[in-house]
Amino acid sequence: MTQVHEITILRFRNPKLVWLGQLRNRMSIIINIKAEAEAELTRQAAAHGVQPEDYAAALLEEAVHTGEAKKLTADQLDRTLQELAQFSHKIPLLPDDAFSREALYQDHD
């Protein structure tokens, strides 16, 4: 049987309100997770230079705001574009006529 570990998140704030000098009510949550998930959470938190509790709180807050538009920083956008371009040399070159209207809509009128 897999052992379940418990993580308590005590720091849960809205960063938009923090810079305004206001803190919303804090929320305490106890989450039971498997040892493998705890190890991965700890690894990812260390990679970001934060405590696992802070990283878990950030992940949770991000998850509840999935409907909002996510804004990328310039560095994040640059990294994303670099990742997209990483294997671009493997994409075959196509002739200009491959992008003509006739070529794009050849299967219907």
Per DSSP bridges, beta strands 29-34 and 4-9 are antiparallel
User: How far apart are alpha carbons 50 and 41 in whole angstroms?
Assistant: 11
Count of domains forming the chain: 1
Residue whose structure tokens are 């219907």: 108
Q: Which pLDDT does position 108 carry in this prediction?
A: 77
Nearest to 8 by CA among 21, 35, 27, 23: 27
Amino acid letter for position 55: Y
pLDDT of residue 43: 93
Has residue 82 been placed in a domain? no
Quick check: 11 and 56 in contact, CB under 8 A? no
Q: Is residue 42 part of a domain?
A: yes
| Residue 81 falls inside a structural domain | no
Q: What was the pLDDT predicted at 65?
A: 74
Q: Is residue 44 part of a domain?
A: yes
Residue 21 lies in a domain: yes
Q: Domain range for residue 29?
A: 4-69
Read off the pTM: 0.43
pLDDT in tens, the chain (109 residues): 556 555 555 444 444 444 344 445 567 778 888 889 999 999 999 999 999 988 888 888 888 876 666 677 899 899 989 988 888 888 888 898 888 888 888 887 6
Predicted local confidence at residue 26, as pLDDT:
64
Instruction: Give the pLDDT of residue 103.
Output: 85
Q: What residues pair up with 30 in beta bridges, in sequence order? A: 8
